[in-house]
Structure 1
Amino acid sequence: MLNTLVKGIDHAVKHLTFLLFIAMVIAVFGQVVMRYLFGTSVFWAEEFARYAMVWIAFLGASMGVVEGAHTKIDFFINRLPQGVKKGVFIFNNVLCILFLSCISYYVVAALSYTMGTLSPAMRIPMGLMHLILPVSGVLMSVYLLIDTYRLLRNQPFPAE
């Protein structure tokens, strides 16, 4: 069941990231074609591409948590006994979850202010742009909780 949940969330995040990337490429390509062939431009394309890129980066960061792909210095950790190594990984996960929870909490609190501010070109609430912070924070926290659960159940480390 846990694997099904992880796969389902991972599948949705990957598809959303892919769709945002395709939409960003189409918007930027359309902007270039319009500018150089027709001498006009799509006024919202640059802003959309910027916002899509931010969403892609944060969704990609959450996918990096699943894969264990984030940069880490594990030279000393790999030399520790298995039990201590496991404890270090669990402690690290708990610290990351606390950090992500704090960031998500304060961004959600600030969303009420930013939902009233509209973006210059697309005229969408800026809160939608900032919404990716708690979304990715919750995703990463869920992935870290699942990883911690796996560690406590003596299942293999993600990198192994």
Structure 2
Amino acid sequence: MIHRLVGAAVRVAEGLLALALAGMIVMVFANVVLRYAFDSGITVSEELSRFLFVWVTFLGAVIVMGQGGHLGFDLVARALPRAGQRACRILSDLLMLLCCGVFLRGAWTQTLLNLDNLAPVSGLPLGWAYAAAVVAGVGLGLVILADLIAALRGQNPPAPPDVLAEPGA
């Protein structure tokens, strides 16, 4: 059940990431063309692009975590027997959940504090930019929780992507 929920959340994050990236590309490209060709520009595009970049960064972190692609140090854990590896994985997941909770609490506080502060050009609440951290905290927490459940059931962790492999190999 939780694995399907995580999979759905990652797919939603991928869709939002694609939309945000497309929005950034369109706004920045249009602004460059307007500035060089017509000596004008869209003032709000720079601010909105920054907001979207924050969302792209945090959503990307959730997606990469869901794919097992974040950097990790497993040299010691791999040298342990299977029971030791499982214990390290469970401990690691618990510590990451704790960190995720602290992060989420701080992100939520910042979001609430900045809902009344408005961006200078667009007038959008700055809390919307901080809300990206809240969404990422929830998403990362779900991914970690799913891995913790899998570890408690004795299932293997997802294999990280092989970034050094040749395409199509």
**TM class, shorter-length:** over 0.9
1:77 offset after TM fit, Å? 1.4
Aligned counterpart, 1:84 = 84
Structure 1 residue runs without a partner (length 5+): none
Give the RMSD, CA atoms, in angstroms: 1.2
1:123 offset after TM fit, Å? 0.8
1:134 offset after TM fit, Å? 1.4
Structure 1: how far apart are the matches of 2:122 and 2:98? 35
Structure 1: how far apart are the matches of 2:35 and 2:75? 51
Is contact 2:110-2:130 (8 Å) kept?
no
1:4 offset after TM fit, Å? 2.4
Query: Mean Cα displacement is larger for which, 79-88 or 108-117?
Result: 108-117
1:109 offset after TM fit, Å? 2.3
Superposed, which structure 2 residues align to 1:122-133 within 5 Å?
122-133=122-133
Aligned counterpart, 2:26 = 26
Structure 2: how far apart are the matches of 1:16 and 1:159? 25
TM-score by length of 1: 0.95
Aligned counterpart, 1:114 = 114
Aligned counterpart, 1:103 = 103
Structure 2 residue runs without a partner (length 5+): 161-169
Q: How many residues align?
A: 160
1:9 offset after TM fit, Å? 1.1
State the AA in 1 paired with 2:113.
Answer: Y
Structure 2: how far apart are the matches of 1:11 and 1:112? 27
Question: Matched residue of 1:123: which SS?
Answer: coil
TM-score by length of 2: 0.90
Structure 2: how far apart are the matches of 1:138 and 1:102? 11
Structure 2: how far apart are the matches of 1:107 and 1:141? 13
